[in-house]
Amino acid sequence: MPGSRGIDGVRLLGRLQALGAVGRGPDGALTRLAGSDADKHGRDLVSGWMREAGLRVEVDQVGNLFGTLDGSDAAADPVMVGSHIDSVINAGIYDGCYGVLAGLEVAQRFAETGAGLARPLTIAAFTDEEGVRFQPDMLGSLVHAGGLSVEAALASVGTDGATLGDELARIGYAGAMVPGTIRPSAYLELHIEQGPVLEHEGVRIGAVENLQGISWQRVTIEGDANHAGTTPIRMRRDAGLAAARVVTFLRDHVDASNAPTVATVGTMRFEPDAINVIPSRATFTVDLRDPDEDRLKAAEAALAAYLDRLARQDGVTVSTERLARFDPVIFDEGLVRRIEQAARARGLSCRRMTSGAGHDAQMMARLAPSAMIFVPSVGGISHNPKEFTEPADLVAGAEVLMDVVAELCGG
């Protein structure tokens, strides 16, 4: 049994494993996409644990799930601790789930130890943070922060053709509460780093002071389907070749830019997709990120200029569609300082850092002073079954969270 200054690490780790077992396919791979049956089972598990911890459970119209521990000051806005439990395809068990379950553990410890908070403490699991099935990503927190209407969110069409609204109703998580009803006084998100910096430097806690801007586009290139054996090279309009040129251009561009810009082409599709037919169409996505808005715009402009040149040189038709665009975010300086102080008070090494990934905190920063706490990711690996954080680091992060929440809630 932990002391009143600690969390129950065994319980937290056990819940991470239990939630991580939900959504395994026949091959053992974890895929818990938003609105899926696996998402329903994960939500059932988490909301059950919330009730067990004595939290009041609420679900809003876009499926955001909240569990609140009441404080003595009924009029005070709550401190909110959140993240998400949807996953990418073939995912690890920590991304998102760690933040939700650590928040739940902190609330449960406060309830068990009779800490007597002044402000309420709300634990949030936001819908569709990953954006793999429904776009945009960070959908639930974006709606909560007023950046997207409930109607638009529910009408979002998934990669499988289903709408989010239908899927939430189907799995029983289309709630009645209007999104944004719970207005936090501060928002904290604890997360695995998903990158290699903390491990590489041997630092235990990251106090996240800003977050990269994100630009997602879908690019479609159209050429001519034609016979692979009889069409002379000079007469081809090969959409697949043009797409490959864009992929290598993006790498060359970021290699040459001497900036932290990253570019990724994660999806690619050729049509008609036959061995002996020159592709008439190639469709792919481009993910560009940079902590600096001007540099992010410059990368977008360089891509647009390259696509123009490619259309002229290869005789192909190029169109682009914006899938998501979020400016870089600067987190609340006061909260970042509290995180540093809490880490120091527990004897944990700490550094300020940038979040390379998008997180719900990015959206919540529009509503309330926000910041994030990172713990090391072994090998920097995430969005991968090999995603791993040492148990001691998971517990340490949750205890820093507990200390900052205790200060913010008061009482």
Binding-site residues for Zn(2+), in ranges, read 84, 95, 130, 191, 383
Q: Which is nearer to a second copy, 76 or 265 (CB)?
A: 265
Among 39, 58, 105, 193, binds a second copy (CB under 8 A): 193
Q: Which stretch binds a second copy (CB under 8 A): 142-150, 182-190, 274-282, 344-352?
A: 274-282
Give CA–CA dist 238/290, Å, rounded.
Answer: 31
Q: Which stretch binds a second copy (CB under 8 A): 48-56, 179-187, 244-252, 393-401?
A: 244-252
Closest CA to 290 of 261, 326, 254: 261
Neighbours of 341 (CB within 10 A): 16
Instruction: Assess 323 for contact with a second copy (CB under 8 A).
Output: yes
114 to 143, contacts with a second copy by CB under 8 A? 130-132, 137
Structure tokens at 398: 């949750």
- Which positions ≥6 away from 324 have C-beta within 8 Å? 131, 135, 136, 137, 214, 215, 216
317 has which bridge partners? 222
Among 68, 122, 382, 389, binds a second copy (CB under 8 A): 382
Considering the complex, what minimum distance in angstroms separates the CB of residue 338 from a second copy? Answer: 24
Give CA–CA dist 18/203, Å, rounded.
Answer: 28
Does residue 281 sit in helix, strand or coil? strand
**H helices present in 315-411, as ranges:** 333-345, 360-364, 391-409
Does residue 209 sit in helix, strand or coil? strand
x/- mask, a second copy, residues 330-369, rule CB under 8 A, reads: -------------------------xxxx-----------
x/- mask, a second copy, residues 84-103, rule CB under 8 A, reads: ----xxx-------------
Considering the complex, what minimum distance in angstroms separates the CB of residue 31 from a second copy? Answer: 9
- How many residues belong to the site for a second copy (CB under 8 A)? 68
Considering the complex, what minimum distance in angstroms separates the CB of residue 384 from a second copy? Answer: 5
129, 137 Cβ separation under 8 angstroms: yes
Structure tokens at 17: 């494993």
Q: Which stretch binds a second copy (CB under 8 A): 113-121, 167-175, 238-246, 340-348?
A: 238-246
What secondary structure letter does DSSP report for 234?
G
Tell me how far apart the terminal alpha carbons of the chain are, to the nearest angstrom: 24
Give CA–CA dist 403/406, Å, rounded.
Answer: 5
Instruction: Assess 240 for contact with a second copy (CB under 8 A).
Output: yes
The residues of the shown chain that bind a second copy, judged by CB under 8 A, are 88-90, 130-132, 137, 193-196, 212, 214, 216, 224-233, 235, 238, 240-241, 243-245, 247-248, 251, 254-255, 260, 262, 264-270, 272-280, 282, 285, 287, 289, 323, 355-358, 380-384
